[in-house]
Amino acid sequence: MKRTTTTPYLFLSPAIVLFTAFIVVPIGYTAYLSFRQVKVEGLGLGADARHEVFAGWRNFRDALSDPEFSGSLLRVLGYGAVVVPVMLGLALLFALLLDTPSARMRRFARVSIFLPFAVPALIGGMLWGFLYLPSVSPFPLGDLDLLGGNVLLFSVANVAVWGGTGFNMMVLYTALRAVPPEIYESARIDGCTELRLALRIKIPMLTPALVMTGFFSIIATIQVFAEPMILKPLTNSIPSTWTPLMKIYRDAFVIGDHYSAAATSLVLALATLLLSFTFLRLFGRRAFGGER
């Protein structure tokens, strides 16, 4: 008779309980709220006149037809088109430079590049916000408005690039250090320069790591919230619906419409899932091999 043991389940139980309490239950409650709405009967003068009723797909239709939500999505797509390539490009460049034999002070360089990632988003956003303000910035900005007009998107993107490049650099650099050094030595014996070594050997071998960092960078970009929220008090050019998460926050905690916010959050989660799945379909097969 096959024996079973409960020991593995005892070790897994804390993680299962925490995952259920803080992931499954909130998602389930959000889905429940997204199909509800408040109906006011009579004159609506008392609390008894307000009733929570089943709304069907109405909240989702309102979210998809809301011009503020669609505008925030388009804005975030433009933001991501700047952040993801620049951040991963700089991370790849720094990783390749640190992996060259002629690199000096590698430990100091790694810490210096990674340090912005360790700075909390609140502090980093406030730091860059004051650097952008001509009245307090140590740089002579003159009449240049870095928190307005067409420059605003790049100013917000700069904060994200500054904070995220170091983490992605460490991921790529770690992947490079895992490559057997014999491969590099053989290429150098054959007369391969460092530039050709990087282009023909290192970068192709970094493809899985690049796909992984790109995947997580896309998810983080769609869910951007901290940077524009921190810069918002410093300028009138950032509305409360500048990003989808900012709109969800406004609807839920400023307006108090939890039902619409729940539906919008599920729509955003589905959009994130579709975009991430498309990215993996396009680049996952080349990176990891095999059929998908």
| Cβ neighbourhood burial of 141 (10 Å; 0-12, 13-18, 19+) | middle
What range does the domain containing 145 cover?
58-288
Helix (H, G, I), strand (E, B) or coil at 48: helix
Number of domains, the chain: 1
- For residues 54 and 39, give the distance between their C-alpha atoms in angstroms, rounded to a whole number: 9
Q: Is the model more confident about 88 or about 280?
A: 88
Supply the pLDDT for residue 184: 81
Supply the pLDDT for residue 47: 54
Domain assignment present for residue 44? The answer is no
CB 88 within 8 A of CB 213: yes
Q: Per-residue pLDDT for 46 more than 80?
A: no
Domain assignment present for residue 19? The answer is no
- In this structure, what are the phi and psi dihedrals at residue 5, rounded to the nearest 5 degrees? -125, 145
Domain assignment present for residue 134? The answer is yes
The pTM of this model reads 0.85
Q: Per-residue pLDDT for 164 more than 60?
A: yes
**What spatial distance separates the first Cα and last Cα of the chain, rounded to whole Å?**
39
Domain assignment present for residue 68? The answer is yes
DSSP state of 50: E
CA angle at residue 114 from 217 to 83, to 5 degrees?
30
Q: Which letter, b or e, does each residue of 72-99 get, where b requires 16 or more Cβ atoms within 10 Å of its Cβ?
A: bbebbeebbebbbebbbebbbebbbbbb
The candidate with the shortest Cα–Cα distance to 130, out of 149, 155, 163, is: 155
Q: How far is CA 184 from CA 59, 101, 190, 199, 208, in A?
A: 57, 11, 10, 12, 19
Residues 6+ apart with CB under 8 A from 7: none
Domain assignment present for residue 155? The answer is yes
Domain assignment present for residue 28? The answer is no
Each residue's pLDDT tens digit, 64-95: 999 999 999 999 999 999 999 999 999 999 99
DSSP state of 36: E
Residues 6+ apart with CB under 8 A from 139: 131
Domain assignment present for residue 105? The answer is yes
- For residues 190 and 192, give the distance between their C-alpha atoms in angstroms, rounded to a whole number: 6
Domain assignment present for residue 239? The answer is yes
CA angle at residue 93 from 89 to 97, to 5 degrees?
170
CATH assignment of the domain containing 73: 1.10.3720.10
Average pLDDT over residues 254-282: 89
